[in-house]
Amino acid sequence: MENPFNTQENKPRRSNLLIVLLVLTVLNNGCSFYQSVKNALHTEAVIETLQTSLETLEGIEDEANGASMGDLLSGSVATVEQTIAIVESYGPLYYIIVAVLAAMSLLGAFFMYRLNKLGFHLYASSQVLGLLLPFAFGMTNFSSTLLFVSNILGILFTALFIWLYARELKIGKNEEYVSK
């Protein structure tokens, strides 16, 4: 006779890949949340650090003028200048929005851990909004090849994670997972 109290057989199980994805998501978005809150609380220190970085980059750029690193450094200088302008204009708002998006991703990971499809939608929407956020604030400087490649890699990793989560949670299929 079967044990009626054994509910392990009927419960959906988390795959190892899902666990790995969730751990990576929590690590990445936990750090992003912490850093964004810290930056929002200390915006003046962020601006000072960026200005110091800008001075250092400009010094290196002057020394490397004409070298193969010239494109990389000039793009980096332009990006830091653009970031300083945005942080000075908007204050902590940018970092607060990044923190909210990171918190949404963490909440999505929690729901996905519980095998609830709502978590996938929270995660995916926060990641896509995170990709679009720099454009909303006018950060559109792709003058550096490295910066362009970095943005492309960000898009590819985001798409990969969303695809893997969808596959692991069987989004679009009415299988064993909760769809509350």
Q: How does pLDDT run across 54-76, given as a tens digit for each residue?
A: 888 888 777 766 556 656 666 77
Put simply, whether the predicted model's pTM sits higher than 0.85 gets the answer: no
Helices within the chain (DSSP H only): 16-41, 43-63, 70-90, 93-113, 117-136, 145-169
What does the pLDDT look like over 100-114, one tens digit per residue?
A: 999 999 999 999 999
Residue-level pLDDT at 36: 95
Q: What angle do CA 42, 91, 56 make, to 5 degrees?
A: 65
What does the pLDDT look like over 1-51, one tens digit per residue?
A: 556 565 555 567 788 999 999 999 999 999 999 999 999 999 999 999 999
Domain ranges of the chain: 16-169
Residue 136 tokens, joined: 């909303």
Residue 38 tokens, joined: 């810290």
Dist CA 65 CA 68 (whole Å) = 9
What does the pLDDT look like over 35-48, one tens digit per residue?
A: 999 999 999 999 99
Amino acid present at 27 = L
